[in-house]
Structure 1
């Protein structure tokens, strides 16, 4: 009795395993439920190359659908499908793009269209690309990459006269309504089967889609960090060195530091969700973490400098460390903003941010230099106890007031019994003593 039951169970298990599709038959599959775009992939080895065998599906109502090799539109190798002139088949166009411009056809792609159809208002194309892997003159897939990035998009759903229906490979397409990124484990796509891949169901197989929230987080991150280092920090420096607005200075620097910290937290969040960057090994990521850590250290150093200066009335090693670290942090943050846009593959934007960073840095340094020179020429005292990220400047007050009331130009020299510090020189009169701990410096 038990022997019969055991044999029956073994037969059932073997029968179940036999009808399970093998890994080589599954390959990889991506499906986006919002746009109903589907993609299936096999890779097969032949004598001269590794072929990509693909099936792409997209709703006819979308106007067009596409997948592409790469993580951004710029330079990606795209396979775009749209209705052909007879409305019963599909035109397949291999294209690439410069920046976010309309993709243009590629002539050097060895692409074979196996079959196309439109069934139940769904466009289907089965294609094979024989030079889409390895080292090519265009973007290509790495069959050994377990996180090969692909992009996808669908059109705006044009109807009437705007509907795409042509056999031409270079027809102009309107900008996408839906798009995203997914990562394919190319090592799981190897197949010895002659069958073409088929999209089955709406699940992802050997694929990690990038969460739709990531592009938004990236934009917020970019706004936070470029705003902090190309606007707020330089404004804080100019407020102190040129206008002598002490409180405006430290408020701007504190705000910029908090925004930078927020930008780092956001960056860590979306990097952890992105299979391409979750190892945190990129130079932009490493520099970003270092910069924010330095900013937090700057806050502590600025406070210690302020307390020491109130007590002894002169700069210490803490003051100079705060001064030079601040200069380094701002320049490093500007550089990292440029590296961030470069990492995203946004070449025109990278050039634009680089130009802005150079201009802002140059203007800031000129104003700092002339601000310091103007202070020396007018006899205004130099030296500061307030937190600054690029330069220190301040003024003594008679009774420990931190209101900067004695710090403006044209207010005359300090009265007898008060101490003025200019470039480290003691300008006290005969018989005058150093200030007591009760006197504050702002």
Structure 2
């Protein structure tokens, strides 16, 4: 059986990166022969099998032919006469179109190793334009390898623009778009994903709420970067430095959607943008079928990030009410992701990336103090129902007020 290590495992090995998973292509075999060797079939659309020992995936070499718009519109041909070069030609980028044989010899018919050296993301063939998912993958790989100096080849970016102009990305289903976004959010520089999409016009088609932020000015005193779209990309990268949680990063990215919806006559100020952004966030989440956990955090950050920034100035009662709206008393772990997204917002500004954010420390202290109210004592004193809620709030305010006097 002629089996070749392919794709990301070869790429990452050549880059000196950890190999997370190993995929194989088998040449010259049939599904019946694979089953006879003890391989277990797992592929739905084309023949893929699990190795009986390693459980790694082995796919029969195959070619694809475009039959309809979108990324489902393909017919697959997998047969013993399909060569390794045929299989590699259908792949998206040259750095993913290399293989190694059993002796570790590199098979590189499309210049992947040269593109690795040049730090270039380049499509293998014009067939790239047949699958709109490849635009999302291109942007995601740009984000993954930005720290190594990789850039999208001009000819590949031009091809992506032509695909967008031809309406290919309009065929993408929401679940796949969010799946690629969530993977991109996990990268070290997730903003690059959105920059690449914007450069080819796909951001306006897939994420119009984000595209609308570019060109919207902000007060230079608070936002030296001025442009709201740039600010949100900077906030996203700051969130990536502060937290590995993709929900925090999503909330950081979307927190200012309302600034595109304020009255331009009042720009660069954006009064009420927190409230105005909520319907836009709801549309984005509904369209992409964003998980509820992401959505709830994003709504809290959008509504209350301004309160967090003013935490050192707020009265005890306002602080207690803020924590109550954040559900921080009922869910003790609800405050941390909110504060991380708010800190990212404060630091996602040109020249202010390293400034401290004492508001987060203060809100943590306030939360601990307000959470220490002895509810059992109030119950023992006969408080019930609405009167109990009022008594708890009053005691929390008293605790915070005492804390403020000590501070």
TM-score, length basis structure 2: 0.29
Q: Which has the higher helix share?
A: 2
Q: If you compute each CA radius of gyration, which structure gives the higher value, 1 or 2?
A: 1
- Larger strand proportion, structure 1 or 2? 1
